[in-house]
Structure 1
Amino acid sequence: MSHRLYYGRNSERQKAPGAMSTPRRHVPFGRRGMLTRRKHGTQVPKRFVTTYHWKSGQRVRILALEPYFGGSHRAFLEGWSQAGRHEWTILSLPAYKWKWRMRHAAVTFAGQVQERLARGATWDLLFCSDMLNLAEFLGLAPPAVQELPSVVYFHENQLTYPVRVESERDYQFAMTNMTSALAARAVWFNSAFHRDAFLHALEAFLSRMPDYQPFDAVAGIRAKSQVFPPGVPGFAPRGPRRAGPLRILWAARWEHDKNPEEFFAALGLLKERQVPFRISVIGEQFREVPEIFAHARRYLADHIDRWGYQQDRTDYEATLLEADVFVSTATHEFFGLSAVEATLAGAYPLVPRRLAYPEVFDCHEGKAAQEFFYAAGARGLADRLADLAGRTESNDSLHHAARPIRDRLTRFEWPNRAPILDEALEQRRA
């Protein structure tokens, strides 16, 4: 048996004027935004995607609504829909102006769904991300869709997402997250850390309101919350290491919540100590980039291998496969896709002992925690990097040293994750 994966007409890859592109994840694109699957020498347009085979199990027809089809949101839907066994209809909007997407997506999708129903489409389950105002959408949607069991997946949330100045936070978006969670039959989070942080912040937020504080809403959301981490693509075994100094990779978004100041301060200390190293600084960029990146590019010019967002997935994977060590300095992270991918590609992870990292890497104490977590601060990071640089010079294989943690992370590869997610949806459909 087989199923088809359908995309909505608004899911074509688009880039807003002056904006950086969102990462290409998992699915190769041909010219003019077409999803390329060659069959008998033809290119299949993105709206009529190739047929995939599905394994045994109960078939579920899923209507997926994604207002912000970029980055981890896009990678998640594309990876799961290709690795899983169910039938997906994905309606999406370009990853641009997220606030506007959260405002209008419910209205836009309600119209698109009505058009598809008129053409005979039917579904068993509704799936959306935290970027959709689900309660609003259900109020606008036709009865056939209102009655579907619904799952909302939280990649992030607007209560704990970092802002430079707290007064800039728009709590209406936080309320949208809350009402979406209340409207859904099930609420999924990408990590237990994320779930706990959101529910704690929601309770604290409501406690500051003047009256009619719906604390029972928090209990209701908690009762139907579950943790379902995303999947990642697998990597072929890396070849022999090229000669040279320690190759350091930083692959986070170029924003303040990823704490680039600490990373570059640590590299500055390495340079002062005359420790040999090379760096690749990649990751998604937006219109406003912290000034530290321009300064670091000048100061560390003699150490740079790659700099800037890797537009092509092949280049991104090549960068991961070249790295000896992956570094995160994040102060905000609900899962850490790039950390997981880099480690599976063979890099030695060096991350802070906070956020979702202990949960994702499944090491809270003991030798593994000592190996792969560093003491907070630029000096603690620099000390660990200097040690790893010395081990590289003495031909101590960091790739081999990271194998235990790499083996733990194989649970996130799509062939392992998709069946778990598929079964969870089957249970929701029942």
Structure 2
Amino acid sequence: MPEDTRILLLSAYEAVSHQQWRSRLFELFPTARWTALGLPARHFAWRVRGNSLTWAFNHRQELTDNYELLIVTSLCDLSALRGFVPELAALPTLVYFHENQFAYPDNTEADDARRAGRQAHNLLNMQLTSIYTALCADMIAFNSDWNRRSFLSGARQLLDRLPDHVPCGLTEHLQQRSQVLPVPLADSLFNSHASTGAPAINQQRLSGDALNIVWNHRHEYDKGPELLLGIMQELIERGVCFRLHLLGQRFRQQPAAFATLRQLLSDHYQSQGIEPGIDNHIEDRNAYLQVLQHGDIVLSTARHDFQGLSVLEACALGCTPLVPDALAYPEYLPAQCRYPVIADSISAQAQAAADCLQKMLPDIRANRPNVSHLSVGALGAAWNEAISSLLKP
């Protein structure tokens, strides 16, 4: 990409993974002249529906500052934004899908009839918005092939259900313009022996004979807290000496499984004489990375994960993954680190995950995968080729 290329980046819902993606793009293209606008990661339905209004009428000057390329997240209402700000319609545009609205699991714990109806209405609007946004793009990029396939399949099924006058070949058009470009992992993660410059972590919690298991996901229903509880119960019943580090972002309302899990862990630590694991969302990134450096296992119980960035970062820092044999994980992690997905039986799936872990226990480090092919240095050429192709006359 030519130096001093002027790029406008719009991130409609600035979740942590979206922030990391933006940082990696800045790292990949340090000579570009970036203008980045992001909206806070709250009020999800309003963010998806209202981002075009917010940007067009609150940030018009920033949107019309003579750019050469536009990059937006899939949650951006691009078709409406181009209508409000016609200058944007002339820019070559890359739409990046961190996720898609066709592959989220239902929140059965929270559903009543009224709420379920409201959620279904919001979901339909979000799904259609993502299709419109993708159709506006010159290029569509996904962080995994699982994300790409589930979006195209979901879009096709939705368009087939619409009553009439649906143009033919829309999903084929989207497929032709799409490719997989993972969010790169920072090169600095792969120097696992380097100091992070973080405050010292209590090393008693991170050393000794106990297995250090890291669970670093949002404390929400879609990340599988019931399965997490089931796996911990299974490991305790099998006499595995471990501590669990709950590092994910948490919110005012949490699934009920977490309260049960914390009591279970408290009893386990007391009976085993083990120093408790860390139970905290560590805001300081260097301190967080230091905890990952001292972990043995990074565990995922997610019911959806479109790339698994938190797991891949932990792998780069020395953890061995234990993840479902589904979603995006088969693309990035080897078979010995993936436990079978057993539908409709948390108990059976917890047993399968525990079986997988115990197979790795004799030599945890021997099962640690090499994920350096996902580093900034390794993915730089693919990203540069994609961006440069958009800038050609």
Shorter-chain TM-score: which interval? Answer: 0.7 to 0.9
Q: How many residue pairs are counted as aligned between the two chains?
A: 355
> What letter is aligned with 2:316?
L
Aligned residue for 2:209, secondary structure, equals coil
How high is the TM-score relative to the length of structure 1?
A: 0.78
Aligned pair partner of 2:38 in 74, 87, 92: 92
Aligned ranges 1:166-177 → 2 under 5 Å? 167=117, 168-169=119-120, 170=122, 171-177=124-130
Aligned ranges 1:119-138 → 2 under 5 Å? 121-138=65-82
Structure 2 equivalent of residue 115 of structure 1: 61
Aligned pair partner of 1:159 in 79, 102, 115: 102
Structure 1 equivalent of residue 200 of structure 2: none
Deviations 1:287-338 (A, max 9, x none): 3311101110111112631113111102210221111111112221110001
Answer yes or no: is 1:311 the counterpart of 2:273. Answer: no
Aligned ranges 1:299-378 → 2 under 5 Å? 299-301=264-266, 302=269, 304-361=276-333, 363=334, 369=335, 371-376=336-341, 377-378=349-350
Counterpart CA distance in 1 for 2:63 and 2:316 is 42
Counterpart CA distance in 1 for 2:251 and 2:167 is 37
Counterpart CA distance in 1 for 2:308 and 2:294 is 19
Answer yes or no: is 1:216 the counterpart of 2:162. Answer: no
Counterpart CA distance in 1 for 2:167 and 2:221 is 33
Structure 1 equivalent of residue 24 of structure 2: 79
Aligned pair partner of 2:8 in 46, 63, 66: 63
> What letter is aligned with 1:343?
C
* Cα 1:66/1:266, change in 2 over 3 Å: same
Aligned residue for 1:206, secondary structure, equals helix
* CA displacement at 1:274 relative to structure 2: 2.1
Structure 2 equivalent of residue 47 of structure 1: none
More helix by share: 2
Question: Do 1:203 and 1:215's aligned partners in 2 also have CA atoms closer than 8 Å?
Answer: no
Structure 2 equivalent of residue 415 of structure 1: 377
Structure 1 equivalent of residue 112 of structure 2: none
Question: Do 2:159 and 2:166's aligned partners in 1 also have CA atoms closer than 8 Å?
Answer: yes
- Specify every segment of 5 or more residues in structure 2 that has no aligned partner in the other structure, as ranges: 109-115, 195-202, 342-348
* CA displacement at 1:117 relative to structure 2: 6.4
Structure 2 equivalent of residue 279 of structure 1: 244
Question: Do 1:346 and 1:402's aligned partners in 2 also have CA atoms closer than 8 Å?
Answer: no
Deviations 1:243-277 (A, max 9, x none): 32211111122122221211221211221222211
Counterpart CA distance in 2 for 1:359 and 1:289 is 30
Aligned residue for 1:274, secondary structure, equals coil
CA RMSD of aligned residues (A): 2.1
Question: Do 1:246 and 1:388's aligned partners in 2 also have CA atoms closer than 8 Å?
Answer: no
> What letter is aligned with 1:133?
D
How high is the TM-score relative to the length of structure 2?
A: 0.84
Question: Do 1:63 and 1:123's aligned partners in 2 also have CA atoms closer than 8 Å?
Answer: yes
Answer yes or no: is 1:424 the counterpart of 2:367. Answer: no
* CA displacement at 1:286 relative to structure 2: 2.8
Moved more, 108-117 or 123-132: 108-117
Question: Do 2:337 and 2:356's aligned partners in 1 also have CA atoms closer than 8 Å?
Answer: no
Question: Do 1:334 and 1:355's aligned partners in 2 also have CA atoms closer than 8 Å?
Answer: yes
* CA displacement at 1:57 relative to structure 2: 4.6
* CA displacement at 1:381 relative to structure 2: 1.1
Counterpart CA distance in 2 for 1:286 and 1:418 is 35
Deviations 1:108-150 (A, max 9, x none): 21235532367xx32101110011100000111143x220011
Question: Do 2:8 and 2:63's aligned partners in 1 also have CA atoms closer than 8 Å?
Answer: no
* Cα 1:402/1:160, change in 2 over 3 Å: same
Counterpart CA distance in 1 for 2:166 and 2:2 is 43
Question: Do 1:155 and 1:334's aligned partners in 2 also have CA atoms closer than 8 Å?
Answer: yes
Question: Do 1:65 and 1:109's aligned partners in 2 also have CA atoms closer than 8 Å?
Answer: no
Answer yes or no: is 1:256 the counterpart of 2:224. Answer: no
Answer yes or no: is 1:139 the counterpart of 2:76. Answer: no
Structure 1 equivalent of residue 344 of structure 2: none
* CA displacement at 1:105 relative to structure 2: 1.1
Question: Do 1:113 and 1:141's aligned partners in 2 also have CA atoms closer than 8 Å?
Answer: no
Aligned residue for 1:131, secondary structure, equals coil
- Specify every segment of 5 or more residues in structure 1 that has no aligned partner in the other structure, as ranges: 1-55, 364-368
* CA displacement at 1:279 relative to structure 2: 1.0
> What letter is aligned with 2:261?
A
Answer yes or no: is 1:205 the counterpart of 2:158. Answer: yes
Aligned residue for 1:193, secondary structure, equals helix
Aligned residue for 2:298, secondary structure, equals strand
Structure 2 equivalent of residue 270 of structure 1: 235
Aligned residue for 2:169, secondary structure, equals helix
Structure 2 equivalent of residue 189 of structure 1: 142
Aligned residue for 1:333, secondary structure, equals coil
Question: Do 2:102 and 2:150's aligned partners in 1 also have CA atoms closer than 8 Å?
Answer: no
Counterpart CA distance in 2 for 1:74 and 1:244 is 36
* Cα 1:117/1:350, change in 2 over 3 Å: closer
Counterpart CA distance in 2 for 1:388 and 1:188 is 35
Deviations 1:133-187 (A, max 9, x none): 00000111143x2200111101112222223256432201110000000111111
> What letter is aligned with 2:225?
P
Aligned residue for 2:95, secondary structure, equals strand
* Cα 1:92/1:261, change in 2 over 3 Å: same
